[in-house]
Copies of this chain bind each other. A is one copy, B any other.
């Protein structure tokens, strides 16, 4: 199963100017594709922060997705920072410069041509008729920060990431408190080949605990859910 990390390059998120719409979207889509997301980092628009985070994530996970900082303005430093992280130069790629010249005609300027500069050795993915390709350096997929464009690019290449088989999950809800059920959760873990999470909730109706059960074997997940359902007191909502 492929593991993944997301690196959100975003002063605008950290300073509360914009809400991060990209993480929730990528979390759900990676889940649907069977990719195991293990880390999200939201970092500042800073060369060393980006270079360090991207390189460490590239070494530790199968897939890395960065978002943001790929436009033509002074605050768009993702490409040069990823080049720094991989210790390669930032190079102008003639096919991208030509594309920008063709698209923008007389409006082409120095700022626009910054978008033809990528880390040396980058691949271009043109899947699904993308007008401007997805830039991929090693296992790092460099996505834009604008949510609508990010979705367009991710959907164009998404099927490349699909894993099989997927993860099965179930939920059990109880009105018992966590301290009372901790021992039974431990027992369920020893009886079944599943992972179990326990999440108390106090602010949506009466106090309750949501128990999540996950695993690769659907029968084990079902069996664990039934076993817990039988031995935990249900949340009776009249």
Binding site for B on A (CB under 8 A): 11-20, 23-24, 27-28, 31, 37-44, 49, 71-75, 104, 107-112, 145-149, 169, 177-183, 185-186, 189, 195-203, 212, 214
Contact = CB atoms under 8 A, between A and B. Distances in A.
Contact of A199 (B12, B112, B180): B12
Nearest 3 CB-CB pairs, A to B?
A: A111-B182, A40-B42, A112-B179
A111 B107 CA distance: 67
B37 A200 contact: no
Secondary structure call for the A interface: mixed
Nearest to A171: B17
Contacts of A109: 179-180, 182-183
A101 to B, nearest CB: 12
Contacts of A111: 178-180, 182-183
Given A15-B31, A178-B111, A214-B15, A73 B40 contact: no
